[in-house]
């Protein structure tokens, strides 16, 4: 009998690895330095494990790709709160993985059951959009908007969100970010989850018994703790009117920072503390009338379209993904910065007898099960499935390392590639290049109401354009 296990990379790995070793699972390659995704057991012949981002695991176990998974309670709850009939069950908590998901707001904006907001809509941002929506309903907010984020939620209040959901070790960490704690949503301790069908029909006892013998008792899950207010009444804050001539510029965090810094330097635009060693998300810029925040590039198109920012530097891939979700969105490309070139491609396993998307369409007509398309770009993937009339499809959202999904967990990938070598290494082939992506300046392309702001944006874009023309 084969046992399929989904194990997380990242924060929980250092504590899960010794636990599994003690349980005798023999997954010798499950360690922080490993370079493989697929793990074999040296002690149990039928055991096959794979490494995922933690948030991928509840989805992978729910769709039945894996019998057992280990992830934080936060990601399990994020899945269950929106999809209560998901085919997963929480079996045990593992007694480690300190921390919780907290709801937080700007200090002073929440008092005695009322929350100050800038407009009629309470904006909730975070990496847990389903928990955010459930929180809004629980707090009985009349109007709310949820901004799903890839990260950096702490950067959003007060200008860009009233409430943020953050995963942190304890409330002190929330306060150290300069935020006021609203309450705890759910703990993020590690838990053992199992596919319902596997639990019903498969003998998993060798694995479960071996784990049971090495883990202690743990507290049961407490969801939406009593520390949260029962309901919140929203009041419109009496704030001075915003200066509409100020340009709100979003700059990327992560590996793009050095490229952006190089271009800004070449343009003679001075920027302090970017990249920041202390995690400063509001660096100063030498241009008058500009305000900067550092956020995830994936989140920028939405943040421009909803009016939180005026300009941003991100990849065209994320702009196109956004346009597939919101075709009439007012955000558009203002300048191609020509670095970070990648191709966005459709990919299948080498063994699949197709070489084009058209052939894939014919091939899928004979298939007995839905086509599984894994992608970080879920909207591009969804559009690809529709345009190519692939019939019944399942779009599987991923958060990195998508190339490892084929063949067990997906049939097709929508993936970015620079040279194609990673794809070749993973026994994959490209069947279509959808488009090329480079970094670009994006902004709201609709008519601007403030003349000075419009001139500042045009001047900024013109200055970068001129710089690009003279850069090697």
Q: Which residue has the tokens 């360690």?
A: 31
On whether the CB atoms of residues 408 and 65 are closer than 8 A, the answer is: yes
Q: Does 274 bind another protein (CB under 8 A)?
A: no
387 binds another protein (CB under 8 A): no
Please, how many CA atoms are within 13 Å of residue 465, restricted to the half-sphere of its CB?
9
Joined together, the tokens standing for residue 17 give 């690895």
Nearer to another protein, 305 or 417 (CB): 305
The count of chain residues that interact with another protein, using the rule CB under 8 A, is 35
- Distance, in Å, from the CA atom of 11 to the CA atom of 54, rounded to the nearest integer, reads 9
Least Cα distance to 54 among 96, 12, 108 occurs for 12
155 exposed, middle or buried (CB, 10 Å; 0-12, 13-18, 19+)? buried
SS3 of 201, please?
A: helix
Q: Contact letters (x/-) for another protein, 157-186, by CB under 8 A? A: ------------------------------
Residues 73-92 that bind another protein (CB under 8 A): 81, 84-85
Interaction pattern, residues 281-310, with another protein; x per rule: CB under 8 A = ---------------------x--xx----
Record the tokens describing residue 202, joined without a space. Answer: 């498969």
Is residue 327 a contact residue for another protein (CB under 8 A)? yes
CB hemisphere CA count around 423 (13 angstroms): 21
Beta carbon of residue 461, minimum distance to another protein (angstroms, whole number): 22
Whichever of 256 and 305 has its CB closer to another protein, that residue is 305
Using rule CB under 8 A, residue 63 touches another protein: no
CB of 300 to another protein, least distance (A): 12
Stretch that binds another protein, among 60-68, 132-140, 183-191, 332-340 (CB under 8 A): 132-140
Does 22 bind another protein (CB under 8 A)? Our answer is: no
From the list 44, 63, 145, 468, which residue makes contact with another protein (rule: CB under 8 A)? 145
Chain centroid offset of residue 98 CA: 21
Provide, rounded to whole angstroms, the least separation between the CB of residue 352 and another protein. Answer: 17
In angstroms, the CA 277 to CA 16 distance is 30
Is the Cβ of residue 123 or residue 293 nearer to another protein in the bound state? 123
Q: Tokens for 312, please give them.
A: 């941003």
Query: Tokens 């013109």 — which residue?
Result: 462
What's the rounded Cα separation, in Å, for the pair 97 and 89? Answer: 19
Cβ 130 to another protein shortest distance, Å = 11
Binding site for another protein (CB under 8 A): 81, 84-85, 121, 123, 133-134, 136-138, 140-147, 230-231, 302, 305-306, 322, 325-329, 367-370, 391-392
């Amino acid at each position: 009998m084969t046992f399929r296990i989904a194990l997380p990379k990242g924060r929980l790995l250092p504590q899960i690895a010794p636990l599994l070793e003690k349980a005798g699972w023999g997954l010798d390659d499950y360690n922080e330095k490993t370079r493989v995704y697929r793990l074999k057991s040296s002690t149990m012949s039928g055991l096959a494990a794979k490494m995922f981002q933690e948030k991928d695991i509840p989805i992978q176990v729910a769709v039945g790709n894996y019998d057992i998974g280990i992830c934080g309670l936060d990601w399990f709850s994020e899945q269950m709160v929106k999809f209560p009939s998901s085919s997963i069950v929480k079996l045990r908590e593992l007694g480690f993985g300190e921390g919780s998901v907290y709801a937080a707001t700007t200090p002073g904006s929440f008092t005695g059951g009322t929350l100050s907001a800038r407009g009629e809509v309470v904006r909730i941002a975070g990496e847990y959009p389903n928990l955010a929506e459930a929180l809004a309903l629980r707090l009985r907010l009349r109007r709310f908007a949820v901004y799903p984020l890839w990260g950096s939620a702490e950067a959003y209040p007060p200008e860009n969100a009233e409430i943020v959901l953050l995963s942190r070790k304890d409330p002190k960490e929330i306060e150290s970010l300069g935020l006021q704690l609203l309450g705890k949503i759910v703990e993020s301790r590690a838990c053992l989850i199992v596919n319902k069908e596997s639990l019903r029909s498969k003998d998993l006892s060798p694995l479960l018994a071996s784990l049971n013998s090495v883990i202690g008792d743990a507290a049961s899950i407490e969801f939406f703790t009593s520390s949260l207010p029962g309901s919140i009444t929203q009041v419109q804050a009496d704030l001075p009117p915003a200066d509409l001539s100020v340009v709100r510029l979003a700059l990327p965090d992560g590996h793009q920072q050095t490229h952006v810094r190089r271009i800004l330097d070449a343009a003679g635009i001075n920027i302090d503390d970017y990249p920041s060693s202390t995690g400063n998300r509001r660096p100063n810029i030498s241009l008058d009338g500009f305000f900067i925040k550092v956020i995830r590039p994936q989140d920028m198109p939405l943040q421009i379209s909803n009016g939180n920012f005026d300009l941003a530097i991100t990849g065209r891939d994320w702009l196109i993904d956004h346009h597939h979700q919101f075709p009439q969105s007012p955000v558009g490309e203002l300048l191609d910065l020509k670095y970070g070139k990648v191709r966005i491609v459709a990919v299948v396993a080498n063994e699949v007898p197709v070489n084009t998307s058209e052939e894939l369409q014919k091939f899928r007509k004979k298939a007995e099960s839905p086509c599984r398309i894994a992608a970080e770009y879920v909207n591009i993937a969804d559009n690809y499935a529709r345009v190519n009339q692939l019939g019944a499809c399942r779009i599987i959202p991923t958060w990195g390392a998508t190339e490892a999904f084929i063949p067990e967990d997906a049939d097709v990938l929508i993936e970015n590639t620079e040279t194609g070598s990673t794809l070749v290494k993973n026994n994959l082939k490209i069947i279509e290049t959808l488009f090329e992506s480079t970094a670009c300046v994006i902004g709201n392309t609709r008519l601007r109401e403030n003349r000075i702001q419009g001139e500042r944006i045009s001047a900024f874009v013109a200055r970068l354009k001129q710089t690009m023309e003279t850069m090697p």
